Structure 1
Amino acid sequence: MSEIVTIERLATKGDGVAAGSGLFVPFTLPGERVSVEREARRARLLSVIEASPERVEPPCPHFGACGGCDLQHASDDLYRAFKRGLVADALAREGVSAEVAPLVPCAPASRRRVTLTAVRAGGRVLLGYNAALTNTVVAIETCPISLPAIVAALPALRRIAALLVDRKRPLRLTVTHTASGLDVSAEDARKLDDKVRQDAISQTLADGLARLSVAGEILVEQRPVLVSVGPHLVPLPPGAFVQAVAATEAAMADLVTAHLSGARRVADLFAGFGAFGLRLAHHAAVHAVEGEAKPLEALTATVRQTPGLKPVTTEKRDLFRRPVTAKELNRFDALVFDPPRAGAEAQAREIAASNLSRVAAVSCNPVTLARDLSILTQAGFAVTSATPFDQFLWSHHVEAVALLERRG
């Protein structure tokens, strides 16, 4: 049975929230009157009776079915205010005082790393993104957030998927645009007998992809796969984490390096292959700490090939189980940390207990960022700025960089 509701606000995941009932209604905007069909605590949008002046035409033909984007129907102003609000509200809930800057936007067709899902459906293979809150794969023919080189390669990626997809489980393809071309990393593939392996290698070569790996094993690499980090070209381990938009990474790094300028020794925690550390090493000695060995090996190889950098040391260490202690941190003048979505609560407590005076916190989760900043501010740090960054366009995900100085 349908009902008519008025949307009063956007929830943290971009759904509209109906006044009174609190129903979550995807693809709606504040102030709209809409017809919906209730499905427990959520509702399916049937029609827009009175549209918001902030409603725009979505640029993607798959929007509404594909679950990759939440807010293509929102104007730029509303969308950017929403994302800034995610950071500002999270900080306010934790009692963290900070001036939150406007969102630093990213352009369409700029995302260099996507993860696609493939499944068998009858006699064909579907390649795309999951529909929201389901395991149903929506096959895509285009993707306006992704770099044109990735969109152009969708037919080639379908051919690879058709060779590797298992009959009983979805295949995941992480596709990264690099300085060497497209790197494809597959997970949950079918069993690779000799024929499947050779067919996949032949198809990769025929389609001109730079590399294909399955579960971390390189099947074929036509040329060394290198990713740009400022002026550096870093060898990319299969499946390694890469910031989704190169321009956003550079903008965040500019903030971090400016804040930490003048430091002689910098700790780079959750360092990966050096997105921040390599840039910092032009002016300071860097100690890079990361939980995985291969990104550190890539960082070390780059440092060895780059004359003129300050010393860079590395340490493989699980920072969740064994954070760098306050005593160890006292060797450094400044620090940057960029943890995964879970944040860095244990590490933040050690930073709070140290003698560090300058810290840059980078995060993909405003909630855990706010928690970690609360720990630091209670120990005498002040947040001098908090800047939200967009690199997951038209989604509810937002990055942020918070800069801190110890008071007194």
Structure 2
Amino acid sequence: MSEPGEIVRIAAKGDGVTPDGRHVARAVPGDRLAEDGTVLRGPHHVTPPCPHFGPCGGCQLQHADEDVLADFVRDRVVNAAGGQGVEPGEVLPVHLSPPASRRRASLHGLATQKGAVLGFREGGSHRIVDMTACPVLREELFALVAPLRAFIAAHGGKGGIEAQLSLADQGVDLALSNIALDGLAATEAALDFAREHRLARLSIDQGYGPETVWEPDPVTVTLSGMPVGLPPGAFLQATEDAQARMAADACDWLGEARILGDLFAGLGTFAFALLGDGPEGRKVLGVEAERVAHLAFKAAAARTGGRALALHRDLFRAPLQASELARFDAVLLDPPRAGAKAQVAEIAASDVPRVCYVSCNPSSWARDAARLAEGGFRLAKLRPVGQFRWSTHVELVSLFERA
């Protein structure tokens, strides 16, 4: 029996919760709430590894140990399914990405009278936390923070600057927006910055759309052994380890299926994995709406000898119909946070026997899972994924089979 002031769970936004429903900031299960409101640390409360924890909005759970983190990720996913009346046949162990594994990040910068600030924003605020440490970023990305801050101080001008960093095969791909390079000297400084720090690419949006100003070699990201062109701003899974875990699950679960549909395929994160681990003669149709991602996937797919095919189609406005889905032995889908309501309705009405659903939003996934259950599917396997370590952002990979 829990005591009234004991923290028994963590809510969706990271607060600890008592048995009577009180929310307590920066508390974890096992902590106790004293009469004066202070938090008495329990066995699962650890010292946050980052000096910015608290003000920085990038992480909410650095004070939780590994057990609490895993429980939080699992509960978010399992409870979302249960809320829609969907019960998983098997819940696999939670996958948590390790520290210093994030290969993409969006930072905010601002030139000031004393120089510049660069980092994540405070939670619920536009104020920027000037980053001096970050235990979640890959070393290659964090190494650019100090020099990029100095560049913004010299050339940032007025107004906030956005910096998107992604780790490609050739190095760091950096895209700056809301910045104006006035004159030849500023442009040459940007090129010197890219050269000195061996950027794979530097793109700058001065108010007229992104323009690549430095790209010594075509930028690629290797997906399951296949180098794929990486368009500026294209979506990548945040960590390679989580991508590998989810891809391995998909390959295992879809087994001997020979004809597969990869819906919301992006650059081919899962399509090329499914080809590599599939039976001889397997074919995958990758369907994607975003034109640049579709073209990058199509160009890479052309090197598979016809095993991977690309279709440019908006699955929100024009989902594959049940009759079109009949050709597939299995379907994988990895939609945006909004889920795939229209496409899932067609899958539920189809004869597809197996569906692997990857999601970055347990709420929209649970809604879609309920629709699949209504259509005769059962949730056979479910793996919660904590790809954004120490954050309340939770992902998952799941398998649905015809009951």
TM-score, length basis structure 2: 0.91
* Offset at residue 74 of structure 1 (A): 0.7
Alignment of 1:310-325 (within 5 A): 310-325=306-321
Query: Match for residue 132 of structure 2?
Result: 141
1:182 corresponds to: 172
Residue of structure 2 equivalent to 1:121? 112
Query: Whole-Å Cα distance in 2 between the matches of residues 149 and 246 of structure 1?
Result: 14
Q: 1:391 to 1:163 in 2, by over 3 A?
A: farther
Q: Is the 8 A contact 1:176 1:183 kept in 2?
A: yes
Matched, 1:58 2:48: yes
Equivalenced residues, count: 391
Aligned to 2:91, what secondary structure does the other structure show?
coil
Consecutive unaligned residues of structure 2, counting only runs of 5 or more, are none
Residues 406, 192 of structure 1: CA spacing in aligned structure 2 closer, same or farther, 3 A cutoff? farther
1:402 aligns with 2:398: yes
Residue 393 and residue 274 in structure 1: after superposition, are their counterparts in 2 closer, same or farther (change >3 A)? Answer: same
**CA deviation after TM superposition for structure 1 residue 9, in Å:** 2.9
Identity of paired residues, percent? 39
Q: Could you tell me which amino acid in structure 1 is paired with residue 265 of structure 2?
A: A
Q: 1:201 to 1:394 in 2, by over 3 A?
A: same
Q: CA deviation at 1:26?
A: 2.5
Query: Is the CA contact (8 Å cut-off) linking 1:164 and 1:171 kept in structure 2?
Result: no
SS at match of 1:327: helix
Distance 1:350 1:154, change over 3 A: same
Q: Is the 8 A contact 2:28 2:68 kept in 1?
A: no
Q: What is residue 15 of structure 1 aligned with on the other side?
A: 15
Please report how far the alpha carbon of residue 57 of structure 1 lies from its aligned counterpart in structure 2 after TM superposition.
Answer: 1.1
Counting only pairs closer than 5 Å after superposition, residues 234-313 of structure 1 correspond to structure 2 as 234-282=228-276, 283=278, 284-306=282-304, 309-313=305-309
Instruction: State the Cα deviation string for residues 184-225 of structure 1 (Å, max 9, x = none).
Output: 122333476655434322321222211111243212112221
Q: 1:125 is matched by which residue type in structure 2?
A: A
Secondary structure of the residue that 2:120 maps to in structure 1?
strand
Listed as ranges, the gaps of 5+ residues in structure 1 are 38-45
Query: Is the aligned partner of 1:206 residue 2:196?
Result: yes
Cα offset, 1:384, TM superposition: 0.9
Please list the CA deviations of residues 206-261 of structure 1 after superposition, one character each: whole Å capped at 9, or x if unmatched. Answer: 22211111243212112221212111221111010000001110110111112222
| Residue identity matched to 1:271 | A
Give the corresponding residue for 1:43: none
SS in 2 for 1:130: coil
Q: Of 363, 371, 376, which residue of structure 2 is paired with 1:375?
A: 371
CA pair 299-57 structure 1, distance change in 2 beyond 3 A: same
Would the alpha carbon gap of residues 25 and 207 (structure 1) be closer, same or farther in structure 2, given more than 3 Å must change? same
1:342-401 CA-to-partner distances (Å, cap 9, x unmatched) read: 111111101101110011000011111111111001110111100011210011111101
Shift of 1:64: 1.2
Q: Give the match's secondary structure for 1:146.
A: coil
Segment of structure 1 superposing worse, 311-320 or 172-181: 311-320
Question: 1:276 deviation in Å?
Answer: 0.5
Contact 2:167 2:173 in 1 (8 A): yes
In 1: Cα distance, 2:393 partner to 2:35 partner: 26
Q: Cα offset for 1:331?
A: 1.8
Quick one: distance in 1 between partners of 2:182 and 2:6? 53
Question: 1:171 corresponds to which letter in structure 2?
Answer: I
CA distance in 2 between partners of 1:118 and 1:124 (Å): 11
* Correspondence for 1:73: 63
Which of the numbers 140, 149, 171 marks the counterpart of 1:158? 149
When residues 238 and 341 of structure 1 are mapped into structure 2, their CA distance, relative to the original with a 3 A threshold, is same
| Alpha-carbon shift at residue 160 of structure 1 (Å) | 4.2
Cα distance change, pair 96–161 in 1 and its aligned pair in 2 (3 A) = farther
Contact 1:281 1:310 survives alignment (8 Å): no
Counterpart residue number, 1:41: none
Deviations 1:254-313 (A, max 9, x none): 11112222222111111000000112234321111111111122112223345xx55222
Task: Kindly indicate whether the alpha-carbon contact (under 8 Å) linking 2:115 and 2:150 is maintained by their aligned counterparts in 1.
Answer: no
Structure 1 Cα separation of the partners of residues 345 and 311 of structure 2: 20
User: In the TM superposition, what is the alpha-carbon distance from 1:166 to its structure 2 partner?
Assistant: 5.1
Q: What is the identity, as a one-letter code, of the residue corresponding to 1:152?
A: A
| Structure 1 residues 211 and 54, CA gap change in structure 2 (3 angstroms) | same
Question: What is the identity, as a one-letter code, of the residue corresponding to 2:94?
Answer: L
1:391 paired residue number: 387
Task: Identify the structure with the greater strand proportion.
Answer: 1
Q: CA-to-partner distance for each residue in 1:90-132, whole Å, 9 max, x for gaps? A: 0000001103222112111111111111123333211000111
Contact residue 65 and residue 131 of structure 1 kept, 8 A: yes
Instruction: Tell me, in whole angstroms, the C-alpha distance in 2 between the residues paired with 1:126 and 1:113.
Output: 19
Report how far residue 337 of structure 1 moved: 0.3
Q: CA deviation at 1:140?
A: 0.8
Structure 1 residues 51 and 179: alpha-carbon distance in aligned structure 2, compared to 1, 3 A threshold:
same
Q: Tell me, yes or no, if structure 1 residue 94 matches structure 2 residue 84.
A: yes
CA RMSD, 1 decimal? 2.2
- Assess if the C-alpha contact under 8 Å between 2:30 and 2:44 holds in 1: no
CA contact (8 A) 2:118 2:130 kept: yes
